[in-house]
Chains A and B, each alone.
Chain A
Amino acid sequence: MANIISDETMEYVGILAKLELSEEEKKQAESDMGRMLDYIDKLNELDTTGVEPMSHVFPVNNVFREDVVVNGDDRENILKNAPGVKEGAFKVPKTVE
């Protein structure tokens, strides 16, 4: 494996993804990510000069909706997915900036 993921990188990625990993899981993830980067290195061997970057796999564009209200009040159903409910709102642990 050519790409080595350092513990610091693993720590940082964990913070960004809001994941707390055990030591064992960290080792496994470091090895998985290293192999992914190896694969990217392989792709990088290709000469892509003059090739337009692809932004979507389907050859489709301009899929639009007209600006018409089609949804009504479905709060009751929507709130069934909430971790907690208070006064018609999703109740979540306190967030302070």
Chain B
Amino acid sequence: MAKQYETVIGLEVHVELATKTKIFCGCSTEFGGAPNTHTCPVCTGMPGSLPVLNKQVVEYAIAVGLATNCTITQYCKFDRKNYFYPDNPQNYQISQLYLPICRNGGVEIDTPAGKKIIGIHEIHMEEDAGKLVHDEWEDCSLVDFNRSGVPLIEIVSEPDMRSAEEVIAYLDKLRLIIQYLGASDCKLNEGSMRADVNLSVREVGATEFGTRTEMKNLNSFKAIARAIEGERARQIELLEEGKQVVQETRRWDDNKEYSYAMRSKEDAQDYRYFPDPDLVPIVISDEWIERIRKAQPELRTEKLERYKKEFDIPDYDAEILTSSKVLADLFEATTELCHKPKKVSNWLMVETLRLVKENDMEVEDIDFSPENLAKLIELAESGAINSSVAKEVFEKIFKEDIDPDKYVEEKGLKSVNDEGALRATIEKVIADNPQSVEDYHNGKEKAIGFLVGQTMKAMQGKANPGMVNKILKELL
């Protein structure tokens, strides 16, 4: 019988914190500026510059630690991790090795076999590196330090996951918690959340772990799932052939669906950590922790309960809406404006999610304003526009966040509620379609649908369907 293997997975998740400034200097963290326009002597590692810690970084790290059931390290400090690479201007990264800010936590995930706790070994604060672009024309690399010094937390899990599904469930859970806290937007495609996968395989029943590899460059949930399947298969094949798995870092190529060993010239993984003498220790008092705990925003479970109580929407809607901070915020803000929770929920759950899917976006990318959705709902509910026009206008809101009042006015999309005008049109439709009228009188209820259609066509889709029906029946 073929041997049965078990996959053992631990994750290192890097999350870029949503601070306005970098971790050790007052440069902006804004994404997408021209190269090196958000830099200073500190984040470019100039000799003599001194880092000063951004307090908000500590607060976000504590908030994430509390929300993931960690113990906060009340006396903590920074260490230097030494390595040479051009994206790292100081030749060391300021990180935490000996006293990470959070330890011994965990989050609960749902698996087909029931609930399971994924342990969190530690969460530490560190700085991001710059960005390297390899120049195709000249034999050189170009370095942009805008990202250098952007604050990160690295969340290190225990090797508690056994499948790609568990990994995705864990990442989803972390992402939701962090987004709810407002500590990061956690966009995998923009790199504000990045996961490295540590994976080993062992025979089912074995108590020792196998040799693990670390995989990098995973920028979507799909890539993570594929990389896990690929690496599991590669390691099992090695073992079956009687070979050894080599402990190494591998880079996943999602197009080729294969990972490659990353070999640097001398392969020296010796970081010679030591305490950073430029930064003084951080002492976190009980009061400080309590203050952050009290200011903790409502997390998903609480929000879900509140939605079920406060709003007249089905439980299913509440589940979907609270599954993303962006959707929940949009739902609450829009409902606040128009007081029609079920209508808001319908627009978000049906049209919005459909457009997200069709455009291959993530829910986090939605950026229309609640004001415009609320206005659209008013327009549709008052009968000022009919439902097909409303859908058309919504697509414009989704894509360009247009003001629906103005748009409907400019494009002349208002429903015709003028009974006189409608009556005249319908009279003409009846006169032009004697066959349908006869069919209707002979009991063919469907014939009326055709007449409604003809009327809508004559009115360029702007008639109020309720009124058309009413007048038609009356005239027939």
Contact = CB atoms under 8 A, between A and B. Distances in A.
A12 to B, nearest CB: 8
Contacts of A67: 19-21, 54-56
> Main SS of the interface on chain A?
loop
Nearest to B37: A73
A68 B39 CA distance: 15
Contacts of A94: 134-135, 139-141
Contact of A69 (B21, B143, B277): B21
B25 interface: yes
Contacts of A27: none
A62 B38 CA distance: 26
Contacts, number: 136
Interface in A70-89: 70-71, 73-75, 78-79, 81, 84, 86-89
B140 A92 contact: yes
Contacts of B383: none
Given A18-B84, A92-B86, A61 B280 contact: yes
A87 B40 contact: no
Contacts of B55: 64-67
A90 interface: yes
Interface stretch (B26-34, B155-163, B335-343, B385-393): B26-34
A50 interface: no
B282 interface: yes
Contacts of A87: 35, 142
Interface residues of B, number: 56
B239 interface: no
A23 interface: no
Nearest to A15: B266
B142 A89 contact: yes
Given A71-B28, A81-B44, A90 B36 contact: yes
B233 interface: no
Interface stretch (B185-193, B219-227, B268-276): B268-276
Contacts of A89: 35-36, 133, 142-144
Contacts of A62: 280, 282-283
A64 B52 contact: yes
A78 B40 contact: yes
A46 B93 CA distance: 32
Interface in A18-73: 18, 55-58, 60-71, 73
Interface string B49-92: 00011111010000000000000000001000010111000000
Given A58-B280, A73-B37, A97 B141 contact: no
B455 to A, nearest CB: 59
A84 B279 CA distance: 31
A65 B53 contact: yes
Contacts of B86: 90, 92, 95
Given A75-B39, A86-B135, A90-B142, A68 B282 contact: no
B52 A70 contact: no
A75 B44 CA distance: 11
Nearest to A78: B39
Given A86-B138, A89-B35, A92-B140, A55 B40 contact: no
Given A89-B36, A94-B134, A56 B142 contact: no
B476 interface: no
A96 interface: yes
A92 to B, nearest CB: 5
Contacts of A92: 86, 140-143
Contacts of A61: 280-283
A71 B139 contact: no
A91 B138 CA distance: 10
- Which of A12, A55, A75 has most B Cβ within 10 Å? A55
A68 B54 CA distance: 9
Interface string B79-110: 00010111000000000000100000000000
Nearest to B144: A89
A12 B268 CA distance: 9
Contacts of A91: 135, 140-143
B145 A90 contact: yes
B36 A88 contact: yes
A68 B44 CA distance: 19
Contacts of B26: 65, 68-71
Contact of B143 (A18, A81, A90): A90
A91 B135 CA distance: 9
A93 B84 CA distance: 13
19 contacts: A55-B275, A65-B21, A65-B26, A67-B56, A68-B21, A69-B28, A73-B38, A74-B40, A78-B39, A81-B46, A87-B35, A87-B142, A89-B144, A91-B142, A92-B86, A92-B140, A92-B142, A95-B141, A96-B134
Given A67-B56, A89-B133, A94-B140, 6 more contacts: A56-B77, A63-B53, A64-B52, A88-B34, A90-B142, A94-B139
CB-based closest 9 A-B pairs: A70-B26, A89-B142, A64-B55, A67-B56, A90-B143, A88-B35, A73-B37, A89-B35, A71-B27
